[in-house]
Structure 1
């Protein structure tokens, strides 16, 4: 763990995918959770109220990491533990870089080992890039798509036929649905309990709602209902962005070598930008974003 300063008694507050504390997705970060069991972590996350809080403890034996830069990380929403959370990973990496400097980090998570690199931009902002576990996609039953649309209040005609519904995974499972228009994406008012029940049955973490700008084919606007975490909507969702990158590549919606720009949170008043990098020959997905501490 970090040894040059005592860990804070309370979680740190960081936002990911924005340099503005009022933008992006806030996350709690507990740099030393050694004394906390799972119930205490869940209670802390619930008290904080962010979509996720990350809890760090010592790395497992044998983790391939630089000395002092490897950690075990667990992620809790206000209602449940999740196997992996992208925005809390970015936030945690930047919180660590603020204390031990930029460089490489390695997180042991329930989803697998996640390497992260933190650099500093020419403008002086910290930028974190995570590399996912190997992703995949899976089909979803037509009846489940019908139920998802009913919970969302979306007619089937509001789907973009270029984006067939799939479940995509890059550390956590997300249902991907393509919106035919930006107006459809902007109008989000869904049945919280109905969608939550479907997601629990299908073991989904969020629903990734996507609309593609026509200009260049690699710019998207996304939204993420997150009722299973007790949150109506996630402002910026790194795990879902990674899963969507795998989905878009597998369905040949983008080139095998591509950099995707995802805009999220604008409809909530917390705009953020997620960069998803696909590399030919490497199945893993890279998600990058800035972040900053939220003043107390």
Structure 2
């Protein structure tokens, strides 16, 4: 099979398509013939050596996949089933490849309403939004939710999920992403290039941060007493947590993990027509370096995907 391997830390040019041995599924796992691979900003950071999650090269990046089961060592799926998911995260799933061996519990049946390209773009973004808003944030009908970066991968899913939960959704977005965020259902869209959100937003129950930097700290004043900030960018920060607690608010950092319950919840939203996935561009497998250059540039609308 073909796989994308990097032998050294560096820029997009270190990503090379090579011949590689096909993985073998263990008991409770399936072998998936990959149709599409979702790309995430995290992978560009790992490629560049910003932190050693996968150790030293050589390694193969990637977690978000959608494809067809070829071999099943489990009763949960059968050959021919169309599946998608985020296997093994944060351990290496080696998903930049034409075949992936994955635990069955880390996958779900692909919604009929999504193509493989769209399904591959959903897992990390969707599970991050779900775990931040539902599991950790406990958003319920009538809550006021602020989503930072509403036009991005996590943000565009989070807007739709918060609306499905019955929340009043405020988001920050710039340029053409403002109309995009409004189309997704955001009740208020703040142009961060023209307006300081900290001056115009108040009484928010939950803030979901997808940007990092000084955004969490600046978001403190927009929260109501007892409000909660969840950041999908930073780990738990003891100093920030203490600062928020002193102000009568909560601060949490979230690291996404495989979750079959949440994955099925996302499928249900898709099936009900309450969630769609936006893919800005699809790259053929061989153009992975070009895709990573776009990841490096940032300011994406939705997600980028590799097609095998």
TM-score, length basis structure 1: 0.30
* Greater strand share, structure number: 1
Q: Which has the higher helix share?
A: 2
The structure with the larger Rg is: 2
